[in-house]
Amino acid sequence: MHASFPVEERDILIPGRERETNQQIPGDPSIWVFVIGEMVAFSCYFAAYMWDRGQHHGLFLQAQRDLSQNVAALNTLVLLASSLFIALSVHATRAGDFAIASRFLTLGGTCGAAFVVSKAFEWSSKLAQGLTLGSNAFFMHYYMLTGVHLFHVLLGLVFLGILWRELNKGSPPRARLMEVGATYWHMVDFLWIIIFPLLYLMR
């Protein structure tokens, strides 16, 4: 079912002309309330991780050796590329180049899907080694942080699908909806930028 969003004149993008608005921030204020709430929730996860790391520093160092920094770094580059493509999609949308915007959006979504596949292989590898949620404190945090983040990535892919449909419906897309989706996706990528060094690099 196609999601229903209120449409206002300022939300419609006119081809060949960028949207004129007095908004100071992109999207809708409600998405920023949501983003702040998610940041607070993840900050609690990060604080709990740092506390347990301080209590079991040697265990965490040993457990981290079972993770691949190279794979995680590649995943980071993939998500950064996805954010770039989504930003370019929004820029093209504002300029009225909806076909180009759709292509950039597809590239961004493809990068997001590649991240999901890579994470699934990483989890499968760890589970095959017998490294589960209950193995030790480090892997408890590893599965919790990467699992909650992966859920947000999957939700973001659903949102990108809605945006793709918006761009290809045959009429000018709603600017606010595009900006809301991009804001959410950038939040997901930003969270990984924090998770990556915490789990894979910190010594």
Structure pTM?
A: 0.84
Burial tier of 171 (Cβ tally within 10 Å: 0-12, 13-18, 19+): exposed
What superfamily would CATH give domain 40-201?
Cytochrome c oxidase, subunit III, four-helix bundle (1.20.120.80)
203 pLDDT more than 90:
no
Smallest Cα–Cα separation from 137: which of 191, 42, 38, 62? Answer: 62
Of 73-77, 91-95, 193-197, the range with the lowest mean pLDDT is 91-95
Provide, rounded to the nearest whole percent, the portion of the chain with pLDDT above 70: 87
